[in-house]
Structure 1
Amino acid sequence: MLLEIVSSAVMGSVALYAHLRKAGVSNDSEKLNKIFSLTGLNVRDKDKTYTAQLVKKVSHSWGTEYRYRIPLGRSFEDYQAKLPHIQDGLNNRKTAMQFTWADIMALDRARPLIPQIKELLQKKKSAQKEVELSYDGLLKVKVYNTPMPTLVSYEGITHLDGWSVPVGQIREGNTIVQHDFEQVPHMVVGGATRYGKSNFLNMVITTLLAQQPENVRFTLIDLKGGVEFAGYCDIRQVAHYAEEPEEAEAALLAVVEEMRAKQQTFKQRGVKNVQEAKDPIRHFVIVDEVGELNPDEAVTKEERALKERCQTYMSQIARLGAGLGYRQILATQYPTGDVIPRQCKQNSDAKLCFRVQTTTASRVVLDETGAETLPEIRGRAIYQTADKRQIVQTPFIEPQTIRQSVKPHVVIKPRKEHDDADRNSEANRATRTDTAQLGQIRFFE
C-alpha cells in the first residue's frame, strides 16, 4: 500500500512537470537564447544569423553559470548594456513559475502534495533571480536563484585584523570580501550621491581606528564642507585636516614632505620599505570629493595653479607612498572626465564603484562599464582589483558604532595655522571651529 502511494505521488509529480513543460515554461538556458535574439544581440551576415553558442553550463548551490562564445561583431559591452533586459526576462511571470526536476524530487512523498505545491508556488512568486555578466574570452552569465540581501550590518562582521577592512558581501556563499591595504595600498571610490560612498569611507576610518589605534594616522580632506569628516578632526590619529582647496594643498604638501623625510631615513638605514624597516605606522590620506581639486573647473589662473599642485601631490603619494607606509583613498560622486588624476588611477589597483548614471562615469572609476547597470539599492557596488571583479553589498555602519569608536580618541589639540594671511584671519578660524563643533555634536550627542 505504501509503495502504491509513493508511486502515485511520484507519477503525479512527473505529470505536473510534463504539463508545465508542455504549457511552454522553458528553462533559463532556452530563455537566455530567446532574450539574446529579441534584444538584437545576434549578428546577421547576408543569409546567415550568428548567435551566442552555449559552451558550458555549471550548476552551483547558488544558481547556474552559463558560458557562451559570442559571435564576431559583438563585444562584452553589448551584452552588459542588455543586462536589465536579461534579468527582467528571467523574472517574468512565466519564468518565475518555472519548476525544475530538483523541485519535483524535493517534494515530501509522505505529506499531502497539494499544500507543498502551493508553498512551492508561493516561493516561486517571491523569488527574484539576479544576473551577473563577466568576460574572460567567454561570456559568463551567472544566474542566482535568490537575490543578494539589500542590507548587510557592519555590527555583525567579525574576524577583522591587521590593515583589512570589509568591502561587502558577495552572493557566493554569502561571504564577506575584505580589502587588505597592506597588499593593495591605494583605492579609488566612486558613485552617485546617496548610494553608499560616504558610509563606506566612515566604515574604513572606524575599522582602522578599532584595529590599529596606536599605528594609524589620517590626513582627512573633506571637500564637501566638512559634512563627512568634521567629527574626526579632533582625534589624536588625525595629523592633517582640510575642508577647502587651500587647506587641502597645505595638508597634501605636509604629507609629501613627511614622505620625503621618511624616504631619506630609510635610505640612511639601508632599508627599502616599511616592512623591512619594521615601521608599524600607516598613514591614510582620504580625500572625499576629489573632483573639487580638478584644475579644469578652476575659475581663475591662481585657482587652477593651486589645484594642479594638489593633483601633483596626490600623484606623488600614489607613486611613491606605498612602500613608505602611505595609503591613499580618493572618492568622488561626480566621476566625469579627468576628475581623478591619471597617475592616481594607474597606481590604485583597488576600485569600488557604486551606482552611477552613465557608462562614461563607470569608465572613469573602473575603466569599464557596468556600474551604470547596478540596481538602485544603497550599498550595492562593484569591487574591482587587478585580478577580480565582484558585485558586493557594502555593510551599513550605524552612527552609534562610529560614535563609540571615535569618542575614546578625541583630544584637545592646538591647530597648526598656515602662513597664508587669509587662513590666519579670525573669521576663518571661527568658521573652522564652528564646523568642528557641529561635527562633534553630530557624532557625540
Structure 2
Amino acid sequence: MTVSRVVELEGHIIDSGMMQACFGIVMDLDGQFDVEEFRVGRSKTEESYCRMTVLADDPATLRSIVHELHQHGANPADPQDAEVTAAPADRVVPPGFYSTTNHPTEVRYEGEWLPVERIEMDCAVVVHPADEVGANAATDDGPQERPWAETKVLNAVSEGDLVVTGETGIRVHPPERPREKRAFGFMQGGVSAERPSESTIAQIAEELQHVKDDGGDVLVVAGPAVIHTGAREALAELVREGYVDMLSAGNGFAVHDLERDRYGTSLGMDTETLDHPRKGHKHHIYTISEVIRAGGIRAAVADGLVDSGVMYECIENDVDYVLAGSIRDDGPLPDTITDAVEAQNALREQAHEADMVMMLSTLLHSVAVGNCLPSTTRVVCVDINPATVTQLLDRGSAQAVGMVTDVGTFLPTLADYVLTRS
C-alpha cells in the first residue's frame, strides 16, 4: 500500500539549497516524490515555489519523511489545526509533544496561524487560548483578547498547559541565504583560518554599527582568553562607547578581569610582559577574597577598589551582565549565579533580547547561549580552535560568521574599525 502527502516549499528555495535538501531527504528515507508545480523566482526579490507529492510504502515511513521535511521548511499543503494536549503535571509534557527547532515557527489554532513567541530549539510549544486568565494571561490587566503561543523549556511547563503534540498544524520558516553579499550569511561554506581576516572584521564592524544605528542590542559572550590575550582594554572600550548592551560570561572571566585591575596579571601572568611575578599564582584568589570582602563587584567599584576593565565599564555604563557559575569555580564571586537553572534562565532572557551576539573564545558559554537563540539572530563566533567555531555554526543559523583566529587580534582590530574608521 502506497501512502502520500502533498507538501509545499516557498522562498529562495534554490540558492538556499532548501529544495535540494528536501529531495535528498525523501530519497534517503526510502520515499519517492513527484513535483506537481515548480515556479522559479527570476529576480533577487521574487521567491520560488515548489509543490510536490511525497510517497512512501507505509504510514510510519511517510511520517518520518514529512517530519524531516518539516524541519527544513516544507509544509503540508492542506494545513489543519495543531493538536494540543493538556500537560498532566508541572514539568511533565504529553507523549509525542512537538520539540521545536530554532527557526521562526507558527502553529494553527482555531483556524488562525499564531507566531510562536520566544522561539528557541528543544522546547515545547504552549498555546494560550483567548480569555485565558491567571499566570499565563498575556497581561496583568486580565485575559487576552486573542490566542497566542510561546515556547517553554520543560522545567517551565505547568499542569494544564496546552502543549502542541504531533506535526499537524505547524509551519517552520528556516532563514534563507540572502542574495545580496553581506557579512552575515556569505560564509556558510564552512570554517577556515585562511579567509581574509581584515576584510571580514571590517564587515563585522559595519554590521555592528548597523545594529546599533537601528537601536538593536548586542550581547557579548566572553571567555577568560579575552583577558589572557590582552584584548581586555579593547572590549572595555567597546562597552564604554555603547557598543555592548549585555555581557554573558563565567566566574573565571570576571575574576581574571578584576585581577588584571588589582595586580596587573591574568591568572598570575602579566599580560603585557608575559612574565610570571613571584606569588602571581595567588593573585586570582586574593582578588576573589577582596571582592567578597567589599560585597560584590558593584560595591568594589563604588569603593574605588576596582577602577578599570570590562566589569568596571559594565557597572559604570549600566550594562547588564550574567556570570554563570560552574563546578570548578574558585570563590566564587558574589555576583556569580551558582544555581544552574537560575543561570540558564538569566542567559535565556539576554539571548531573547539580543539582535547580535559575539561569542569570543568560550565553547561552553557559547553553546549555552546558542541553545537559546533563534536562528535569525546575527552571530559572530571567534576562537583559535576550529572545532569551537564549527560546533557553533553547525547549529543551522543562516546569520552566522565564524572566524578561526586569536581573539587578542580580533577584538583590538574590531574596536579600531568601529571607533576610529566608521
* TM-score bucket of the superposed structures, by smaller chain: 0.3 to 0.5
TM-score of the superposed pair, with normalisation by structure 2: 0.34
Identify the structure with the greater helix proportion. Answer: 1
TM-score of the superposed pair, with normalisation by structure 1: 0.33
Which one has a bigger Cα radius of gyration? 1
